[in-house]
Structure 1
Amino acid sequence: MRYIVIGAGAVGGTVGGRLAQAGREVVLVARGGHLTALAEHGLRLRVPEGELTYRLPAVEGPRPLGELRADDVLLLAVKTQDTAAALDAWAAAPVAGGGTAGERLPLLCLQNGVASPRIALRRFRRVYGVCVWLPATFVEPGVVSAPGAPLTGILHLGRAEGGTDDAARRIAGDLADARFEAPVVPDVARWQYAKLLGNLANAQEAVSGPIEGAAAEGLYARVRAEGEAALAAAGIAHASVEEQRAVRGDKVTLVPLAGAPRGGGSSWQSLARGTGSIEADYLNGEIALLGRLHGVPTPLNELLQRLAGTFAREHRPPGSLPLTDLLRLADEAQKASA
């Protein structure tokens, strides 16, 4: 199988680099300065064993590849807000022997949140959800870091509509050779919703800094409680905190890496890079959506969604809203919704 990594940033670059290290054929898809750096200098992957360089084919879209191969696997690792555009670019790409990528090729959604598999199923027949537990950072164009050890990450995967198949098991085998644990599960959405609850902290961290200390942790607890209430009202199951801890254990321990500081999670990184967009609409916004559909107030998640979007559009630096101000806004939002 050949792996085409659509969005070779922190997560995509790490997975692509590790697959290449394991001897798998990999193509990286990127744009702008990152694409230029990948083409000129290769992918530089900073991991606990050192900096590894992989000179892999790097393209901006499907056209330079000509017809795709029947054994290609598409790994979608863009942020959810960029999903539709990426799928539009790849779904109609021709595949050798006839048909298109959307008709014939497997697509794995290596993304936060739960929305992308549903978006993808509108364009692709074979869609797999992936619950991504993978600490990684986009350091600079051409350079990504992944400090996890002894495993680089844990990637639960399964059919987006539920169930498993032989393709998922073959892909999981390749990922296992590439220093990932990749359980193939029939209920991948259950793991994705559990991860979603944890990712509700991303916007809080992005706008107000690390969630450390009683005040910040207390606010996140209130945000998460809204999420749990919304999932319960919608009848959506999720893996428990205890179940997640049992699976993770000490398999992915963060190792300090020279020249690769980890400033924060994916939303923090979006603000730090000044991308102009952020995934809060598909994290806190997912809870706001469920709350509106099922009559559950979610004022804190709505607040964080709105603040994160404003920070991204106005290119505000991450962590620049004082926690005291965020707490005041949170209290006001809850009072207004009572």
Structure 2
Amino acid sequence: MSHPRPYPVRYVVLGAGAVGGVVGGLLAVAGHEVALLARGDHLAAIRRDGLQVQTPGAVHQLKLDAAVDPAELGLRDGDVVLLAVKGNDTEAALQSVTRTGVRGLTVVCLQNGVANERLALRYFADVYGICVMLPATHLEPGVVRADCAPVPGILDIGRIPSGLDDRAARISADLRSAGFVSELREHIMPWKYCKLLVNLGNGIRAVCVPAERVEELVAEARAEAAAVLDAAGIAYVSEAEDRRRRGDILQLKGSRSGSSSWQSLERGTGSIETDYLNGEIVQLARQLGRPAPLNERTQRWATRFAAERRPPGTLTVEEWLS
């Protein structure tokens, strides 16, 4: 593989929430051209005051181009679209980009879950996946926070469905320039399936009152999901290899409110990405004719909490099991 060419790249962050806002903001701090796509009060705050990116060591107030729709922003040939919306918003986001008619776009799935890349390939030829290990918080309009230091996150990248190229190398290099740890992965999806297993506890922890039994349910849901992936012949990186990759790189500073699913409930958005986390396992299990009751229960409770705008962490384990 040759070295990445030094051509200018604009990063367009589609979904400038916790992860998208932190990544886009720190890319901008490192000197890269960045534009943001957001909505509602968050977009209004960004347009008025700029995006505030908080890190354990600094606060950056960034005045960046921001819009609600890609057509309004004005996409350009050669832009790199960092897709950072929740899985339940992915298809609508991709369609909004497609409607601009701009060719030559690169789409990078900066997301949890494993369905986004498949959807992106329906609309675009140059698609990349990033395995996101980035504790971040977004609870207030116009403000995002990186919760780890000195490294804010691990963002390994690979081409979809597989392979390495100059474009992946360039994006990885730019992420490293912004302070992230990033390696090239010829096969990124096994890493993303491993991260999917990690994220299966988000929905349980988001709705339940913290208790020892909650963590037991999380472990059982992950074991149930791993058995489904094994039955389907889907490769995923082992828990031991995942621990080795993380090492002591991600060092939390202070207390973190909760996962992205918890934050969705706390903000009262009315939606949650559990359908594309635990729901991915439920769908696969049904295709195989297998049961996946713990992941199905997680999906149903999280969806109900989001629809009813119930506050996080208010369901007892007994209620969850009833």
Q: Which residue, 232, 235, 238 being the options, matches 1:237?
A: 235
CA distance in 2, matches of 1:119, 1:240: 26
Amino acid paired to 1:234:
A
CA distance in 2, matches of 1:301, 1:289: 10
Report how far residue 219 of structure 1 moved.
1.2
The answer on 1:280 being equivalent to 2:287 is: no
Amino acid paired to 1:321:
L
Report how far residue 208 of structure 1 moved.
0.2
- Where does residue 23 of structure 1 map in the other structure? 31
CA distance in 1, matches of 2:237, 2:73: 40
Report how far residue 111 of structure 1 moved.
0.9
| Equivalent residue runs for 1:106-121 within 5 Å | 106-121=106-121
Structure 1, unaligned stretches of length 5 or more?
330-338
Q: Which residue, 238, 244, 247 being the options, matches 1:246?
A: 244
8 Å CA contact retained: 1:229, 1:296: no
Q: Which residue, 298, 301, 322 being the options, matches 2:295?
A: 301
CA distance in 2, matches of 1:278, 1:65: 26
CA distance in 2, matches of 1:234, 1:38: 44
Report how far residue 57 of structure 1 moved.
0.8
Amino acid paired to 2:32:
R
CA distance in 2, matches of 1:228, 1:179: 33
CA distance in 2, matches of 1:29, 1:235: 37
Report how far residue 295 of structure 1 moved.
2.8
- Where does residue 91 of structure 1 map in the other structure? 98
Report how far residue 129 of structure 1 moved.
1.1
- Where does residue 64 of structure 1 map in the other structure? 72
SS in 2 for 1:107: strand
CA distance in 2, matches of 1:108, 1:158: 9
8 Å CA contact retained: 1:74, 1:105: yes
With structure 2 as the length reference, what TM-score do the two structures score? 0.95
CA distance in 2, matches of 1:262, 1:272: 13
| Partner deviation per Cα, 1:130-186 (whole Å, 9 max, x = no partner) | 110000010300001111112110112111211111100000000000111111101
The answer on 1:142 being equivalent to 2:142 is: yes
CA distance in 2, matches of 1:274, 1:216: 22
| Equivalent residue runs for 1:5-16 within 5 Å | 5-16=13-24
- Where does residue 5 of structure 2 map in the other structure? none
8 Å CA contact retained: 2:205, 2:214: no
SS in 1 for 2:155: strand
SS in 2 for 1:88: helix
- Where does residue 6 of structure 2 map in the other structure? none
- Where does residue 215 of structure 2 map in the other structure? 217
SS in 2 for 1:5: strand
CA distance in 2, matches of 1:146, 1:36: 21
- Where does residue 284 of structure 2 map in the other structure? 290
Number of aligned residue pairs: give it.
314
Distance 1:209 1:123, change over 3 A: farther
SS in 1 for 2:123: coil
- Where does residue 334 of structure 1 map in the other structure? none
- Where does residue 191 of structure 1 map in the other structure? 191
8 Å CA contact retained: 1:223, 1:301: yes
CA distance in 2, matches of 1:264, 1:170: 32
Q: Could you say what the CA RMSD is over the residues aligned between the two structures, in angstroms?
A: 1.2
- Where does residue 333 of structure 1 map in the other structure? none
8 Å CA contact retained: 2:127, 2:160: yes
SS in 1 for 2:16: coil
The answer on 1:46 being equivalent to 2:54 is: yes
The answer on 1:32 being equivalent to 2:40 is: yes
Report how far residue 323 of structure 1 moved.
2.1
8 Å CA contact retained: 2:12, 2:80: yes
| % same residue | 53
Report how far residue 297 of structure 1 moved.
1.5
Amino acid paired to 2:228:
A
CA distance in 2, matches of 1:254, 1:108: 26
Amino acid paired to 2:50:
G
Report how far residue 91 of structure 1 moved.
1.5
- Where does residue 324 of structure 1 map in the other structure? 318
8 Å CA contact retained: 1:91, 1:123: yes
